[in-house]
Structure 1
Amino acid sequence: MASLNLEIITPERVVLQAEAASVIAPGIQGYLGVLPEHAPLITPLQAGVVTCRRRERAEERVAVSGGFLEAGPDQVIILADTAERSEEIDVEWARQARERAERRLRERPPGLDVARAEAALRRAVARLKAAGAI
């Protein structure tokens, strides 16, 4: 049966190289799935969780903060701004980041960059989801 070679790469390192049965990624218009023999595609990504499903039904989750996905018939390459495998995530730090972002958005202090606060909240939620904490 066909499979995909998945690579998730940041400017600092290769976060994941794996053989996958499917890949689910956070596109800017919602999550999208890629299976073997997918038509060529390049799309931007938003903060969210990339799920790599393996043949033996195991899943690997990686939190990404945005970037680009390139898919082809047998390969998916994700160039991410930042990415963390689920086991690398500090859940307590991510919870605190989510609470800070929610508080700033709720209180709306003068000079608040709302888009930046919302992006921080999306990143924190993605990290918590990837770690299985929410």
Structure 2
Amino acid sequence: MADTMQFDLVSPERRLASVQAREVRIPGADGDLTAMPDHSPLITTLRPGILTVISAEGTSDYAVTGGFAEISASGASVLAERAMAKADVTVAEMDALIADATAEAAEAAAEGKDAANKTVADLQALKVALGL
């Protein structure tokens, strides 16, 4: 059994992490899960929450709102709708993101209303998960 696996965390803006990880704790839509080397293949959607990466360099936490995780025996990749290093997130930043999303939801056309409201709910849930 391998001691580490390749882990990549990517958002639409940039790649946040690419490391050899011992384990990755993922906020899956159906519950939290931990991916480790030699994990059975799995694809899951994400819920808003904290994604934790444990590697030889230490532990890194990231705030994610949604997306997908693909896990295999040799690694895991997370494609997040929105992701940021937990240490970089402030109350003011979260409040600004929620305010912007709320304004967009108020102006959204009927066919985009549900998606816009989901974005607001995702950001509010993430703020709670961050303890802000």
Give me the TM-score of the superposition, normalised by structure 2.
0.73
Q: Tell me whether 1:123 sits opposite 2:95 in the alignment.
A: no
Which amino acid counterpart does residue 22 of structure 2 have in structure 1?
A
Partner in structure 1 of residue 30 of structure 2: 29
| In structure 1, C-alpha distance between the alignment counterparts of 2:114 and 2:12, rounded to whole Å | 26
Show structure 1 runs of 5+ residues with no match: 99-112
Runs of 4+ in 1 over 6 A off after TM superposition: none
> What is the rounded CA distance, in whole Å, between the counterparts of 2:61 and 2:128 in structure 1?
11
Per-residue Cα deviation, 1:6-52 (whole angstroms, up to 9, x for no partner): 11111221111122110011111111111100011111111111100
Rounded to whole Å, the distance in 2 between the matches of 1:11 and 1:119 is 15
Structure 2 gaps, min length 5: 99-112
Across the aligned residues of Structure 1 and Structure 2, the Cα RMSD in angstroms comes to 2.9
| Total equivalences in the alignment | 121
1:1-20 equivalences under 5 Å are 1-20=2-21
Aligned-partner SS, 2:93: helix
Partner of 1:41: 42
| Residue 80 of structure 1: how far off its partner (Å) | 0.7
TM-score (norm 1): 0.72
Q: Tell me, in whole angstroms, the C-alpha distance in 1 between the residues paired with 2:127 and 2:76.
A: 21
* CA pair 18-124 structure 1, distance change in 2 beyond 3 A: farther
Matches within 5 A, 1:1-134: 1-55=2-56, 58-94=58-94, 120-127=120-127, 129-130=129-130, 133=131
What residue is the counterpart of 1:104 in the other structure? none
**Contact 1:67 1:81 (C-alpha < 8 Å) held by counterparts:** yes
